[in-house]
Structure 1
């Protein structure tokens, strides 16, 4: 319905982006069978012996491949899936190739429809936001959280906002673990079977001059159950210029963020550890000029 420009649905989208920074979508057109097939194939991969998984290990100088962090209680697999020229086939596990190809194609369709809807609620023509991206890139990250005996002592993934345009997340249907910060409190995201979770990213916060906030979120551990999330990031090309739209800058809401190339923003973000919204706060104009 959103993709058809339905005014009532666009109003709901506006409220969700303004008040929460996240929402869940149903009736997105992706087959449940495909979603389950991806879950099954990913579960198979993470059950492989470590020697097998390490065939796809992320090198120290790359962002793609299989790995785990020393800070958070999770393993992950990271791939660039769109456009195809950025793919590195050596990091694509054999048992996942076809399913990721099919799933990411559906995510690209859904994601571009969502970005078109965001363009409309930002007061722009439908395709302006996609055009500003120069090309809508897509990354795919699977986070695998094994059971943890002391879940109260560790995080599956530290608190952060996404340095992208939007993130589209498929969750397990029966395990709650993702939480968002809402009015100073942490609120769990209860899975809706078959739904996709959408997080507003830093790019939208910058372009909207702070009207729509990128949501701060984290992943909690579970003592008895493993948990997996399937995160698709959509973002602009590195040379896209990101700054607040002129019509979002008014007397009561002066310009909040400096202009920056998206690639520079990513570089700046990667130099910082995951810690709330420190990376986007650092490019606020007050911070930038040292006030």
Structure 2
């Protein structure tokens, strides 16, 4: 069987992490994308100290001033220490979250030619950005990802593809900002 490096020599054959992962040539994660973790450094996922933090978003709008102050303090610390958290009681129905995830998957299922319309550029103010971290030529650890970004605030912008993305993302944006 060919190695990953042999299988992806031609840049046009693989254009994204998605296409690389779906290719028959992939039999291991390329070393540039691998992090070597010492097993002794791994956290026990059952240890409460290492549980993903959970933030009750309803406290920000309905809690006492002391509760709101504490949750903001907690958010700052969690973002500094963890970089992410689980948000609960945020007024976005599970059905809308699923629809947003499905619409996002729809974008990544588009043919590469259609996604190129939204290709990542150098302007940080672009309304849409699509790209990949795929580049085996670089000699450093990379992120194993394809991405797209859509600016939705202060003005709402959306992708015209896939078909329902604009409507779903508009409703999702309204709910996340409490505009119902």
**Higher relative contact order (CA closer than 8 Å, sequence separation 6+):** 2
TM-score norm. by structure 2 comes to 0.49
Structure (1/2) with the larger helix percentage? 2
TM-score by length of 1: 0.32
Name which one, 1 or 2, has greater alpha-carbon Rg.
2
More strand by share: 1
